[in-house]
Amino acid sequence: MVDVTIPSPGESITEVTLGTWRKSDGEWVEKDELLNEIDSDKATLELLAPAAGALKVVVKSGTEQKVGTLVAKIDDSAARPAGAAATPQAKRKVIETKPAESAGSGSGAARASGGSRASGVARKMAAERGIDLGTVEGSGPSGRVMKADLEGVSSSESAPTASRSSPRGSRGVRREKMTRLRQKVAERLVQAQRTAAMLTTFNEADMSEVIRLRTEHKEAFEKAHGVGLGFMGFFVGACVSALQKYPRANAFLVGDEIEYHDYTDIGVAVGTDRGLVVPVLRNTEGMSLADIERELKSLALRARDGKLSVDEMTGGTFTISNGGVYGSLMSTPILNPPQSAILGMHAIKKRAVEDPHRAGTVAIRPMMYLALSYDHRIIDGAEAVGFLVHVKDCLENPGRLLLGV
C-alpha cells in the first residue's frame, strides 16, 4: 500500500479543506493522476496519485484536515484492470465524481459526461442547475470550465438531467460553508477595519494621454515584447514612482516602530471563481513597462486557474485594486494588513471637465476616479493627498514614468 497524505501548500498553512474525490473507492488510478483538489486559505493544490493502483478512500470529501493527514491509500499490488492502459492521456484525465458518502464507501461514483475539467465553483453551479459539464466548452487555461462558461446555460441545453431550479414563488433557504479563502478574506478585512485608523482620499485622472499612447503603440508594443499593453502597467509604474517619493505608503507598522522597505512589491487584486486573490509583483522598482505587463499576464492566468503558489500571494508592500473592470465608479478600498496603503482604480467615463489647455473652456475627457485608502497612524493626510496627486500626474503625463520624475 502507498499512502496518500495532505501535502503542505505553504509554510504558514497547517489545515486545509479536502475537495471532491475524482475517483471512487476501489477504482483504478494511474501515477500522477489528479485525485483531489485541496483548498487552503491562500491557494488550491492538486493532490496527485503517488503510484498506480486501486484507490482506497480513507477520508470523505469536504472535511477539514491537518497537513500530513492520511486521506487515502493506493494498492499498488492490485492487478491492472483490462483496458486501463497507462497512457499520458489516462494519467491526466480528470473525472468528475460526487463526494463519497462516507470513508471507504463505494458510492458517489457518478461521472460528468466527457470528464470535463472545471473549477470548484463551476462544478457546484453545474450540479445545482443540472448541467452536464461534458457538453460545456471551457474558456479557462487548458480548456478548464469556469463559472462564466455556465452563465446562461440551462439543463435543457446540456445532457438530459433533472432540473434542480426552484419553482416560481419558492421561499426556500439554503446554506453553504464558506471556503477557506473566503474565510481568510473576511478575517483580514475585519482585522483592517478594527486595527487601522483607515481613511480614504479621492482624486480623478484624465486618461487621455494613456489611452492615446495605448492606441498609437499597442501593435508595435505587442510585436516587440510579445504581450499586450494594458492600463495596469501604467498604474503600477505610477505607484512605484509615488512610493519612492512617499516611502511611508510602502511601510508597515510593527509595534511602536515603522518598518521601511527599499523595494516595492506590489500586489494586484484579481477576482477569480474562488474569490479575491492578490498575486504580488516583486521588485517592481526595477521593472520596465513590458516586464510588468508580462508578469501581470502570467500571474492573472494562474490566479484564475487556481495555480498560484502561496509565496506568490504573500509579502506585498502595497496593493492596487481595480474595481473598474466590474463597472465601479467610486469605492473605498480596504487595507490589506500589514500594508499601510491601497490604491483603488475605477471605471473610465467621459465627463465634461475644464480643458487643461484652454482655461475657462469645457471639454469631454475620459476620466477615472482614484481612491487611496491609508493608515492614518503612519501616513499623514498631506502625504496621502500628495501620493495620489503624484499618481494622477504620472497618468496624465506618462512621459514622467520614462524620465523617472
More confident residue, 194 or 115: 194
Q: What percent of the chain has pLDDT over 90?
A: 43
Please name the helix (run of DSSP H) or strand (run of DSSP E) that holds residue 27, with its range, or none: none
- When pLDDT is cut at 50, 70 and 90, the band that residue 117 belongs to is low
Please name the helix (run of DSSP H) or strand (run of DSSP E) that holds residue 16, with its range, or none: strand 15-18
Is 305 considered catalytic here? no
Res 110 pLDDT > 90: no
pLDDT tens, 43-82? 677 888 999 999 999 988 888 888 889 999 999 888 888 7
Point out the catalytic residue in the list 3, 376, 390, 393: 376
pLDDT tens, 353-370? 998 788 889 999 999 999
Domain borders along the chain are 2-109, 112-177, 180-403
Rounded to whole angstroms, how far apart are CA atoms 171 and 109? 32
Q: Which amino acid is at 40?
A: S
Is 3 considered catalytic here? no
**At the topology level of CATH, where does 180-403 sit?**
Chloramphenicol Acetyltransferase (3.30.559)
pLDDT tens, 183-209? 777 888 888 888 889 999 999 999 999
Q: Which CATH class is domain 2-109?
A: mainly beta
Average pLDDT, the chain: 81
Number of H helices, E strands in the chain: 9, 19
Q: What CATH number was assigned to the domain covering residues 112-177?
A: 4.10.320.10
Q: What is the pLDDT of residue 104?
A: 36
Point out the catalytic residue in the list 256, 262, 380, 393: 380
Please name the helix (run of DSSP H) or strand (run of DSSP E) that holds residue 280, with its range, or none: strand 280-281
Rounded to whole angstroms, how far apart are CA atoms 284 and 282? 6
- When pLDDT is cut at 50, 70 and 90, the band that residue 115 belongs to is very low
Rounded to whole angstroms, how far apart are CA atoms 131 and 139? 16
Single out the residue of 43, 153, 161, 148 nearest to residue 96, CA to CA.
161
Contacts of 76 (CB under 8 A, 6+ apart): 1, 2, 51, 52, 53
Rounded to whole angstroms, how far apart are CA atoms 17 and 39? 5
Q: What is the pLDDT of residue 215?
A: 92
**How is residue 230 written as a grid cell?**
494594458
